[in-house]
Amino acid sequence: AQSVTQLGSHVSVSEGALVLLRCNYSSSVPPYLFWYVQYPNQGLQLLLKYTTGATLVKGINGFEAEFKKSETSFHLTKPSAHMSDAAEYFCAVSFRSGSARQLTFGSGTQLTVLP
Amino acid sequence: DAGITQSPRYKITETGRQVTLMCHQTWSHSYMFWYRQDLGHGLRLIYYSAAADITDKGEVPDGYVVSRSKTENFPLTLESATRSQTSVYFCASSELRSDTQYFGPGTRLTVL
């Protein structure tokens, strides 16, 4: 069975500070891992994903994440927070069930950026 | 480029009523999904469909019915709404053999 744990339901950072959102996963097979962002009253938008290959993955808006198999982690980082980064962030693991690749989501982390 | 749309965006209904949430995508994606989003739970899969006339249950299917007569549409029906079905519902789609899902804007459903 696959599962995702996001540590910290709320994270606050100052504008210009490092953003670190934590995600740990459990998977019985090599995982595909995703980070999605949700802005208020909108759907989820893909930030980045890891499937195979390079373990450091770069995404949109300056975000990146590193797949660490030994730590079963896929933490999301951004060197310098911007006010526009304020949103909810979801980590997800993909697995094949039946005919489709399904996503299991973490419970989300609300990021607040302070001026 | 409409992408994936959902209607209505907001709906208030009463316990026991039937409600249908619509999802339409213009990409001709094979797969479509319905999720519900509740505080503290992230998104949970209700049903998914691999193609027209092929549907399968997800994690939380009880109380919901889906159909897919056309590739582009994937309606979700609550046959007899309950208060526990108050939630935000998201539709998503993906291409065949793709691992990336694209999400609609969501429908906020309130059951009184």
Q: How far is it, in rounded angstroms, from Cα B34 to Cα B45?
A: 6
Task: Please name the residues in contact with B17: beta carbons below 8 A apart, sequence gap of 6 or more.
Answer: B80, B81
- pLDDT band for position B98 (cuts 50, 70, 90): confident
- Compute the nearest-CA separation of A96 from chain B (Å): 10
Cα separation of B76 and A83, whole Å? 36
pLDDT band at A87; cut points 50, 70, 90: very high
- How many other CB atoms are there within 10 angstroms of residue B14's CB atom? 11
Cα of B42 to nearest chain A Cα, Å: 4
Is residue A60 helix, strand or coil?
helix
Largest CA distance in chain B: 40
Output the CA–CA distances (angstroms, integers) from residue A22 to A63, A72, B43, in the order listed: 13, 11, 18
* ∠ Cα A65 A78 A110 (to 5°): 90
CA nearest to A88 within chain B: B42
A37: enclosing H helix or E strand: strand A32-38
What is the average pLDDT score of chain A?
92
Interval A22-58: pLDDT, tens: 999 998 777 899 999 999 888 899 999 998 888 899 9
Band of pLDDT at residue B96, cut at 50, 70 and 90: confident
Flag whether pLDDT at B1 surpasses 90. Answer: no
CA A94, B44, A42 angle in degrees (round to 5)?
Answer: 95
pLDDT tens column, B19-64? 999 999 999 899 999 999 998 788 999 999 999 889 999 999 999 9
User: Which among B41, B100, B108 is the top mutation candidate for probing chain A, defined by the most A β-carbons within 10 Å of its own β-carbon?
Assistant: B100
Test the B interface: residue of A89, A93, A99 with most B CBs within 10 Å: A99
Question: Positive or negative, the Cα torsion across B98, B102, B107, B109?
Answer: positive
> Residue A19 phi/psi, 5° resolution?
-105, 130
- How much is the mean pLDDT over chain B? 93
